């Protein structure tokens, strides 16, 4: 997502545009997805991706389903356990926002 033509090069504008496209797609998809309290492979894949993506490029206000789903995922006990366990290592993620979940 962040790699440019040369491995390791980042084009922040293009990366944000890609995240915006992904956010738009997910917002539409979520109108049909019955989010519940059961953890599926979808939640396992989405939770870490949305956690870090929102740090890099916050999910905009005009994506209410996606913002709500991210909050829902963070409230899941298994996800909360992972987030809490990783807190001591946040300093090693340079794009992160260690002060928020």
Query: What does the pLDDT look like over 68-99, one tens digit per residue?
Result: 999 999 999 999 999 999 989 888 887 777 67
What is the Cα–Cα distance from 26 to 34, expressed in whole angstroms? 13
What is the SS3 assignment for 24?
helix
- Residue 23 maps to a domain: yes
Q: What is the tens place of the pLDDT at every residue in 15-51? A: 899 999 999 999 999 999 987 778 889 999 999 999 9
What is the pLDDT at residue 6?
A: 47
Domain that holds residue 42: 12-88
What is the SS3 assignment for 35?
coil
Query: How many domains are there within the chain?
Result: 1
What is the Cα–Cα distance from 18 to 1, expressed in whole angstroms? 7
- Torsional sign, CA 71, 75, 80, 84: positive
- Residue 78 maps to a domain: yes
- Residue 96 maps to a domain: no
Q: What is the tens place of the pLDDT at every residue in 1-14? A: 555 554 456 688 88
What is the pLDDT at residue 18?
A: 92
What is the pLDDT at residue 80?
A: 94
- Residue 2 maps to a domain: no
- Residue 49 maps to a domain: yes
C-beta of residue 25 within 8 angstroms of C-beta of residue 17: no
Q: What length is written for the chain?
A: 101
C-beta of residue 49 within 8 angstroms of C-beta of residue 78: no
């Amino acid at each position: 997502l962040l790699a440019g033509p040369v491995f390791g090069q980042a084009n922040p504008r293009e990366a944000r545009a890609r995240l915006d496209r992904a956010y738009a797609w997910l917002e539409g998809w979520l109108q049909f997805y019955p989010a519940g309290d059961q953890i599926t492979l979808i939640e396992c894949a989405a939770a870490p991706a949305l956690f870090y993506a929102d740090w890099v490029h916050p999910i905009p206000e005009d994506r209410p389903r996606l913002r709500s789903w991210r909050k829902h995922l963070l409230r899941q006990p298994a996800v909360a356990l992972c987030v809490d366990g990783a807190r001591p290592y946040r300093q090693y993620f340079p794009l992160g926002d260690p002060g928020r979940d």
